[in-house]
Amino acid sequence: MSEKRIEISQLGEFGLIDRINRQFTLKNESSLKGIGDDAAVIQASGDECMLVSTDMLVEGIHFDLSYVPIQHLGYKAVAVNVSDIAAMNGKAEQITVSIALSNRFSVEAVDALYQGIKTACENYNVDLVGGDTTSSAAGLVISITVLGRAPKSKIVYRKGAQVNDIICVTGDLGAAFMGLQVLEREKQVFMADPGMQPSLEKYEYMVGRQLKPEARTDIVFDLEEAGVKPTSMIDVSDGLVSELFHLSRHSEVGIRIYEDKVPIDHMTFETAVEFKLDPITCALNGGEDYELLFTIRQEDQEKIKKHPDIHMIGYVHDRKNERVMITKQGNTVPLRAQGWDHFTE
């Protein structure tokens, strides 16, 4: 390369994606939506659409097999893809799984990986329809593509949030991040003294959220049952604030959330304090929660306000550059995205 070489870390992951995306335009009539949402949308015929999303997981970057059981890795790899289809208000139906692996891995390890994939396929009613297996010089790479389905009229994009819409998030936030902190700490303890057995009982909920997250396909079903179509939606993979920024940018609206409405599990809270971390920061920027973040019209509020796992955390306003949180003390502070970027970490 010449002296003008630009490092990928200078652009970051989103910068690189933007740069790639700018070079491509969609030409086929069937390509309704390309890069830039949780999944691409392809018109199959008439109102029927297929949704496509893909994820690549690299050992040493996305997972550490020294504390991640490989069957959980298989499960998680499927769940996070199914979550992308749920975030479009669609139903996942098929996946392809490609793996590259070095000779460090035995057939038994591959069996365990696919056992996790199979369990996830069964839980989410998804069929494994294809894939590729190859060797690698070092480590494990998993690439999954998921295909989903939705009528065109039901699909929900990141764009679409309107002024005065209510911002909702499911479940609780920050637990997967705290689970990762616990696992990393136990790994250090174990490396210092391999005779030590990790004591994870107390942290079971958070560790489970990190190792075996679930896609919220139940919420897609519940919203349909309640007759609510969100105006915009995204899944929480990089952290709440990062996803709020996506909704804000795509919908060209501002965001206002309330600190005291952000759902945090009590064990997550306590563990954050134990780790000398601010619980709200963990919830806002933790990542890997795979909850659904969406906006609904004011008039739909009644229909879901009794749902035990949907939390209304704020609302949409018209000053598109104003993304703020009202603290418990009543102060207005700007939200700052600290999502994951594997190129610049």
Which amino acids are annotated as binding site for substrate, given as ranges? 62, 288, 340
Feature table: binding site for Mg(2+)? 38, 53-55, 84, 132, 235, 238
Feature table: binding site for ATP? 114, 131-132, 158, 237
Q: Can you say how many angstroms the Cα of residue 328 is from the centroid of all Cα atoms in its chain? A: 27
Place of tokens 């990062």: 242
Q: Which residues contact 223 (CB under 8 A, 6 or more apart)?
A: 89, 229, 230, 304
Cα-Cα-Cα-Cα torsion 80, 81, 83, 86, nearest 10 degrees, comes to 180
Least Å distance, CB 275 to its own copies, is 26
Q: Of the two residues 111 and 260, which places its CB atom closer to its own copies in the complex?
A: 111
Distance CA 234, CA 247 (A): 7
Tell me if 302 contacts its own copies by CB under 8 A: no
Expressed in angstroms, the distance from the first to the final Cα of the chain is: 24
Distance CA 106, CA 117 (A): 17
Tell me if 131 contacts its own copies by CB under 8 A: yes
| Four-residue CA torsion sign, 148, 152, 155, 159 | positive
Least Å distance, CB 109 to its own copies, is 7
Q: What is the number of other CB atoms lying within 10 angstroms of the CB of residue 71?
A: 21
Binding segment (CB under 8 A) for its own copies, from list 142-150, 187-195, 212-220, 259-267 = 142-150
Residues 248-267 close enough to bind its own copies by CB under 8 A: none
Tell me if 208 contacts its own copies by CB under 8 A: no
Q: Which residues contact 79 (CB under 8 A, 6 or more apart)?
A: 120, 124, 212, 213, 214, 215, 290
Q: Of the two residues 121 and 169, which places its CB atom closer to its own copies in the complex?
A: 121
Tell me if 153 contacts its own copies by CB under 8 A: no
Least Å distance, CB 58 to its own copies, is 5
In the DSSP assignment, the letter for residue 336 is -
Least Å distance, CB 232 to its own copies, is 19
Least Å distance, CB 41 to its own copies, is 8
Helix (H) or strand (E) holding 169: strand 166-170
Tell me if 278 contacts its own copies by CB under 8 A: no
Q: Of the two residues 2 and 329, which places its CB atom closer to its own copies in the complex?
A: 2
Tell me if 136 contacts its own copies by CB under 8 A: yes
Tell me if 138 contacts its own copies by CB under 8 A: yes
Give the orientation angle of helix 266-274 with respect to helix 175-192, to 10 degrees. Answer: 40
The only residue of 87, 126, 264, 284 in contact with its own copies, by rule CB under 8 A: 126
For the chain, the residue count is 345
The only residue of 63, 67, 75, 114 in contact with its own copies, by rule CB under 8 A: 114
- Identify whether the C-beta of residue 182 lies closer than 8 Å to the C-beta of residue 215: no
Tell me if 189 contacts its own copies by CB under 8 A: no
Q: x-or-dash pattern for its own copies, window 15-34, by CB under 8 A?
A: -xx-xx--xx-xxx-xx-xx
Tell me if 69 contacts its own copies by CB under 8 A: no
Distance CA 163, CA 153 (A): 21
The only residue of 85, 99, 262, 282 in contact with its own copies, by rule CB under 8 A: 99
Q: Which residues contact 107 (CB under 8 A, 6 or more apart)?
A: none
Tell me if 221 contacts its own copies by CB under 8 A: no
Q: What is the number of other CB atoms lying within 10 angstroms of the CB of residue 125?
A: 11
Tell me if 66 contacts its own copies by CB under 8 A: no
The only residue of 77, 85, 88, 141 in contact with its own copies, by rule CB under 8 A: 141
Least Å distance, CB 330 to its own copies, is 41
